[in-house]
Amino acid sequence: MFRTLASGIIIVTFLLLPQVFGEPADWSREQGTRVDGAVPFVMKLSDGRFRLYYCGAGMMSATSSDGVVFVTDSGVRVNGGCDPSVVRLSDGSYRMYYKVVNRPGGPGQGQHDVYSAISKDALSFVPEGLRINATLSGDNGWASVPEAIKLPDGRVRIYYVTANPHGTTSAISTDGLQFIKEPGLRITNVDGPNSLVDPAVLILPTGMFLMIVSAFNPQMTPNIPQGIYVARSEDGLNFKLDFERKIAPDSGLGENELFDPTIIRLDDGSYRIYFGAADTQGLTVTRSARWTPVKPVTTQKFTVSVDNNEFTVTVASNSTISNMRFSVKEKRLTFAATGEEGFYGTVDITIPNRLLNGTITTLINQQAAASTSNTNQTHAKIHLNYTQGNHTITVTGTNVVPEFPSYMILLLTLTTPLLIIAASKGKTKPSASRVNR
């Protein structure tokens, strides 16, 4: 709370209103093809480049400086495997988990097992052996499409597709070699066996687990069209599916299936999703899309008191709003907007015209900011978008609440003539003695 008087000091109080949780702001496809081949997994190398592992003429890889244009690496990473996932170990080496088809056929008929290989340079991998035997693990012979992540406590969890029942499950390990299956399916708000498979998982800066999945077979999971979807979890085990499809097959590109997504966070806080795409002829390529996330929006009501007048300023933002200041002299409202770097920031400011009006300009960290504003007879509403961080936002008008309240102006108007008259009557002619001195 801040207190101000006519000198320009102000009182500011605020009221927190219920949160409105925002969905991801933008899922947009990127033009072109990343590699010829599919079932991708992406990782960022220590030098900042991106490496994409995928299935082509064997287990292959390609490297890129921008994550868009890739150059194929020579050789094959692993013979006889597919569906790669790579974890960087504490000693700087890399462990790849991948699927091996040991018996042909679909779920419940074939045999898919998970193996691992080790590498010092993320290119030359040496096979280590069997990690999940899909018969002994209770997966009905089907442990496929592994996605390995390193948890904050150092354990390794593999999410993978099971046939008992069909869907995405997981196994946990303390050393990355011996895995214990975790019971149940990971997506908990879809009943029974489902085709929500090919998991890609990462931990967001907030600590929430994000899973990207493919709805591969609409006949198995009715009312969920083929495409790429998102599920979220607080604990990494119980995921809730968002039923809004994020990426759909593009018939203009001849796509009829999207599958095997992989995701990576970029330096600007957005995310790039790579995914396999197949046409009706069975030809597969890897394409990509970008996602810019939004954090929850909270509405705050600030009370600004100037003299004996109170004005309500409303700020709706997914940043933390603090340090609100209003300057009568400078005709501006200033506040701090703080948020986790990389997330998408948004703010809507509603200001009474009686407090600040005229031509409105906005600054972020003393730099001109692109904004939109709408004004009616009572209020101005200003909208800003930005990348989260530590920001100072300034809103300036050309007119401000009068420095003197209206009743003071009226009082001055009425009393000024009387003061002039009184001053005139009080004047006397100088005395003769004073004149002659």
Q: Is the peptide bond before 193 cis (omega within 30 degrees of 0)?
A: no
Is pLDDT at 250 greater than 80 in this prediction? yes
Asked whether residue 329 falls in the same domain as residue 249, the answer is no
CB atoms within 10 A of CB 407: 10
- The confidence score (pLDDT) of residue 149 equals 98
Shared domain check, 150 and 256: yes
Based on the domain organization, do 364 and 381 belong to the same domain?
Answer: yes
Tokens of 273: 């999703």
CATH code for position 387: 2.60.220
Average pLDDT, the chain: 86
User: What are the pLDDT digits (tens) for 76-135?
Assistant: 999 989 999 999 999 999 999 999 999 988 887 889 999 999 999 999 999 999 999 999
Give the CA dihedral 348, 352, 356, 357, nearest 10 degrees.
Answer: 90
Asked whether residue 268 falls in the same domain as residue 377, the answer is: no
pLDDT tens digit sequence for 171-180: 999 999 999 9
Domain boundary (250, 268, 290) is at: 290
Check if the beta carbon of residue 87 is closer than 8 Å to that of residue 176: yes
Whose tokens are 């300057």? That residue is 327
- Predicted confidence at residue 84, as pLDDT, reads 97
pLDDT (tens digit, 9 = 90+) per residue, 318-357?
A: 999 999 999 998 999 999 999 876 677 889 999 999 999 9
Whether 220 contacts 214, CB under 8 Å: no
Is residue 208 located within the same domain as residue 308? Answer: no
- Cβ contacts of residue 391 below 8 Å, gap of 6+? 319, 336, 337, 338, 345, 364, 365
Q: What is the span of the domain harbouring residue 351?
A: 11-20+296-400
pLDDT for 306 equals 84
pLDDT in the model for residue 402: 63
Query: Which of 262, 251, 280, 254 is CA-nearest to residue 148?
Result: 262
* Nearest-angstrom CA–CA distance, 375 and 379: 6
Instruction: State the residue for tokens 């009568």.
Output: 328
Q: Is the dihedral of CA 400, 403, 409, 413 positive or negative?
A: negative
Distance CA 173, CA 179 (A): 5
Looking at the domain assignment, is residue 37 inside a domain? Answer: yes
Residues 237 and 331 in one domain: no
Q: Is 191 contained in some domain?
A: yes
Query: How many residues would you count in the chain?
Result: 437
Q: Does the pLDDT value for residue 424 go beyond 80? A: no
Per the domain annotation, does 204 fall within a domain? yes
DSSP string over 211-265? EEEEE--TTTSTT--SEEEEEEESSSSSBEEEEEEEE---GGGTEEEEEEEEEEE
What pLDDT score was predicted for residue 416? 41
Contact 200, 262 (CB under 8 A): yes
Per-residue pLDDT reduced to its tens digit, 49-58: 999 999 988 8
What is the torsional sign of CA 150, 152, 153, 159? Answer: negative
pTM of the predicted structure, to 2 decimals: 0.71
Assess whether pLDDT exceeds 60 at residue 400: yes
The whole-angstrom separation of Cα 322 and Cα 312 is: 15
178 lies in the same domain as 270: yes
Q: Is residue 407 part of a domain?
A: no
On the question of pLDDT at 6 being above 50, the answer is no
Residues 390-408: what's their mean pLDDT?
76
- How many independent structural domains does the chain possess? 2
pLDDT of residue 429: 45
Q: Is the pLDDT of residue 40 over 90?
A: yes
Q: What is the pLDDT of residues 188-212, one digit of tens each?
A: 999 888 889 999 999 987 788 999 9
Q: How far apart are CA 305 and CA 352, in angstroms?
A: 12
What is the distance between the alpha carbons of residues 360 and 396, in angstroms, rounded to a whole number? 6
Structural domain includes residue 415:
no
- Residue 416 in domain: no
Q: pLDDT tens, 19-35? A: 333 334 468 999 999 99
Can you name the residues that pair with 87 across neighbouring β-strands? 95
d(Cα 285, Cα 36) in Å, to the nearest integer? 5
Q: Is residue 410 part of a domain?
A: no
Whether 216 shows a pLDDT value over 70: the answer reads yes
Residue indicated by tokens 């009425």: 414
Q: Are residues 262 and 360 in the same domain?
A: no
